[in-house]
Amino acid sequence: MDLVELVDSSHATGDVKFLRAKDELRAALAPMRREGSSIGLVPTMGYLHDGHLSLLRAARAECDLVVMSLFVNPTQFGPGEDLDRYPRDEERDLRLAAEAGVDIVYAPPVEDVYPEGFATQVEVGGGLTDVLDGDPARRGPGHFRGVTTVVAKLLNTVGPKVAYFGQKDAQQVAVIRRMVRDLDIPVRIEVLATVREADGLAMSSRNAYLDPGERERATALSRALRAAEATAGSEGLAAALATARAELRAAGIEPEYLEARDAENLNPVAESNGRPVLIAVAAQVGGARLIDNVLIQL
């Protein structure tokens, strides 16, 4: 079934418009904006899972009009990362978006987002983008520059009242919140809890890379974080990290990082200071680089 047919047949599950052109998107949104309708934006790179669906449902419940962007953003992938093999299934995404009550799916081509001569980047500093995933030895700050540039463009194009993100990408959330604050972008950032499989694995499009054995081993990440959470209150953060590390080691997983940081400014935290603490982990499990985290209030 091609996309046009899919959109035409989507009336059974909801009336979703599929748009590739920025001008068409702006034209579709203008009357809604004039009427004072609230617009919710859910930015995605597609290959939707229940985590995305929870964002879409929240947007549907809170906003008059729901826009989902579907764009595998090349600038947030470093050389040697998985841009080429990143899972894609636009038809399925459209069907799921329609079922979740999305009004508009905006799926621009790369050359529309980054036209010839594109020369502007949005970069958040303040120690938020060169630690954890942004450490130059890992994905590097260029990853977050790619994220903030595309998210700023999407916020400018859609002009939502609320934009929805998942807590699984905790660093991305901290970076986007700072960008929105620093650039006075008039949008509320709504962050929803990580959605997990029954065995605890955080939902991610990249879970598709795991073979059955790796899929089983990958459950160690959430187990490690739960163990850390259970230990932190009584024994402190150092013990919590040691417990988590032991849990990973038992599954044969050497983390790229496993760290306790202030959830808002991402400064390292050694001891409880009354502010929410993020325990974040990243690890390569077979063919997939996975991230997960837990937020704790000590």
Choices 40-48, 116-124, 206-214, 232-240; region in contact with ligand PAF by CB under 6 A: 40-48
**Residue 169 in contact with ligand PAF, rule: CB under 6 A:** yes
Residues 239-278 binding ligand PAF (CB under 6 A) are none
**Residue 45 in contact with ligand PAF, rule: CB under 6 A:** yes
Nearer to ligand PAF, 31 or 115 (CB): 115
**Residue 151 in contact with ligand PAF, rule: CB under 6 A:** yes
Choices 41-49, 120-128, 189-197, 266-274; region in contact with ligand PAF by CB under 6 A: 41-49
**Residue 191 in contact with ligand PAF, rule: CB under 6 A:** no
| Tally of CA atoms within 13 A in the half-sphere of 108 that contains its CB | 22
Instruction: Give least dist CB 54 to ligand PAF, A.
Output: 14
Nearer to ligand PAF, 154 or 241 (CB): 154
Residues 6+ apart with CB under 8 A from 13: 95, 98, 99
Nearer to ligand PAF, 46 or 255 (CB): 46
Q: How far apart are CA 159 and CA 186, in angstroms?
A: 8
Instruction: Give least dist CB 266 to ligand PAF, A.
Output: 17
Instruction: Give least dist CB 271 to ligand PAF, A.
Output: 31
Instruction: Give least dist CB 235 to ligand PAF, A.
Output: 33
Nearer to ligand PAF, 124 or 151 (CB): 151
What DSSP assignment string belongs to the chain? --HHHHHHHGGGT---EEE--HHHHHHHHHHHHHTT--EEEEEE-SS--HHHHHHHHHHHHH-SEEEEEE---GGGS-TTSSTTTS---HHHHHHHHHHTT-SEEE---HHHHS-TT--------TTSSSSGGGSTTTT-HHHHHHHHHHHHHHHHHH--SEEEEEGGGHHHHHHHHHHHHHTT---EEEEEPPPB-TTSPBP-GGGGG--HHHHHHHHHHHHHHHHHHHHHHHH-HHHHHHHHHHHHHHTT---SEEEEEETTT--B-SS--SS-EEEEEEEEETTEEEEEEEEE--
Residue 109 has a CB neighbour count (10 Å cut-off) of 10
> Is 49 an active-site residue?
no
Instruction: Give least dist CB 44 to ligand PAF, A.
Output: 5
Residues 76-95 binding ligand PAF (CB under 6 A) are 76
Choices 38-46, 187-195, 243-251, 274-282; region in contact with ligand PAF by CB under 6 A: 38-46
**Residue 44 in contact with ligand PAF, rule: CB under 6 A:** yes
**Residue 73 in contact with ligand PAF, rule: CB under 6 A:** yes
**Residue 180 in contact with ligand PAF, rule: CB under 6 A:** no
Active site residues: 52
Which residues contribute to the site for ligand PAF (CB under 6 A)?
Answer: 43-45, 73, 76, 147, 150-151, 169, 172
